[in-house]
Amino acid sequence: MLTSGLQHVAAMYAGVVAPPLIVGAAVGLSGTELTFLTGASLFTAGLATFLQTLGVWKIGARLPFVNGVTFAGVAPMLAIVDTTKDKADALPVIFGAIIVAGLLGFLAAPFFSRLVRFFPPVVTGSVITLIGVSLLPVAFGWAQGPNPKADDYGSTTYLSLAGITLVVVLLLRRFTRGFLKQVAVLVGLVIGTLIAIPFGVTDFTPVTEADVVGFPTPFHFGAPQFALAAMISMCVVMLVSMTESTADMLALGEIVERPADEKTIAAGLRADTLGSALSPLFNGFMCSAFAQNIGLVAMTRIRSRFVVACGGGFLVLMGLSPVAASLISVVPRPVLGGAGVVLFGSVAASGIQTLAKAGLEKDNNVLIVAVSLAVGIIPITKPEFYHAFPETAKIILDSGISTGCVAAVLLNVVFNHLGRRKDDDTVTAPMEPGDEISGTATAKAAHVH
């Protein structure tokens, strides 16, 4: 149980510590404060995992679920940081918004479990793809170095370290098996850090200054603040997170041969949302199920929820040991950037896998994906696109995940639910050269044009 639980932690560790590193760096936290924020995320991920696996009353799916900081919230949180004048207020504003989103999500859980039909693969796939695409620029920024204003930012040394780390991770994934293959990102970070030492870009100060034992002090960064635009943005993220968790529960239910019914989904969503609402009390972020651990359950065939609960125990212990949490702070940014390409790219690839099941042979679904992705990519390709809008509105609009999700849901309702006709599924996309045109296809084409 101990080794299997530790394997779950190893498989999701990089995913848990990445969001606090991204947000903490954007806020401008010191190495010590960044270590604290990382430890808090580990601690709250452990608590959320306990809530999901062991359950209390009608809270918790009681499935082998690992919970941690969701990537869906990173881009909106960065937008909040960018639009907050005093960076010292950024984290309190984020925490306040997460508390509100978590509580509203908890109340909505039983109703949301009945609305799954409005979040088909065409919606969830578009959103998950946008999550990965939105995070990739962060990895590219890491690869260029720790300080954008420094003269050596984007130097060949930094880019080489990122490239070496990326190659190491790819080689491990290609030529190893079992446990080592699952922790390829973690091993890549270790090897990349060791290689970076001779270049003088590895700083061990956070480890030497960290205490062996410590507790994540409640409201360490200040009392939560409640800004309307930030709360709306995080509520949208909560909907995305609940949608993703619902899909994960359905998938895991099939793997462990205990299909997730409406009651199980509602209980699982309550655990996600309550865990998210409680996390900011200990300086943590929004929590959600980790899909990579579902793959681990399928691969190992160890289906016990108590094994995953054991993994949650490891997360809590790591969160209570600042030294353990500080280890990730030692990793140079370029090394994180190399691993981030795989980590965030995998999120986008997961979305594309979902879209493959979305029925893209139908024109309606093609339009939904096309427009929602286009809307979601606007803040990435044209960061100043919404410069004329009020600052409060920009918190939502500058998050491609939030805008893309809203667009996907609304378009899905319009095209696939309102006033559907029998000929709505007609495919009008041009055929590839050399395709044979049957009489039926010709008739359809003539009818359409």
Question: Does position 369 have pLDDT exceeding 90, yes or no?
Answer: yes
CA distance 356 to 92: 39
CA distance 233 to 228: 9
pTM, full prediction: 0.69
Considering only 5-14, 76-85, 107-116, 142-151, which range has the smallest mean pLDDT? 5-14
Question: Does position 135 have pLDDT exceeding 80, yes or no?
Answer: no
Residues ≥6 apart with Cβ < 8 Å to 160: none
CB atoms within 10 A of CB 429: 10
Considering only 63-67, 193-197, 297-301, which range has the smallest mean pLDDT? 297-301
Q: Which helix (H) or strand (E) holds 41?
A: helix 31-53
CA distance 21 to 35: 9
Question: Does position 428 have pLDDT exceeding 70, yes or no?
Answer: no
Q: Which helix (H) or strand (E) holds 172?
A: helix 156-175
List the one residue out of 24, 116, 10, 16 whose CA is nearest residue 69: 16
Q: Which amino acid is at 177?
A: R
Bridge-partner residues for 288, per DSSP?
Answer: 68
What pLDDT is stored for residue 440 in this prediction? 42
Question: Does position 160 have pLDDT exceeding 90, yes or no?
Answer: yes
Considering only 9-13, 398-402, 405-409, 426-430, which range has the smallest mean pLDDT? 426-430
Binned at pLDDT 50, 70 and 90, residue 388 comes out as confident
Binned at pLDDT 50, 70 and 90, residue 425 comes out as low
Mean pLDDT of the residues in the chain: 81
Residue 285 · residue 74 · CB < 8 Å: no
Backbone angles phi, psi at 214, to 5 degrees: -165, 160
What pLDDT is stored for residue 33 in this prediction? 85
Question: Does position 100 have pLDDT exceeding 90, yes or no?
Answer: yes
Q: Which amino acid is at 415?
A: F
Average pLDDT in the 352-368 region?
Answer: 86
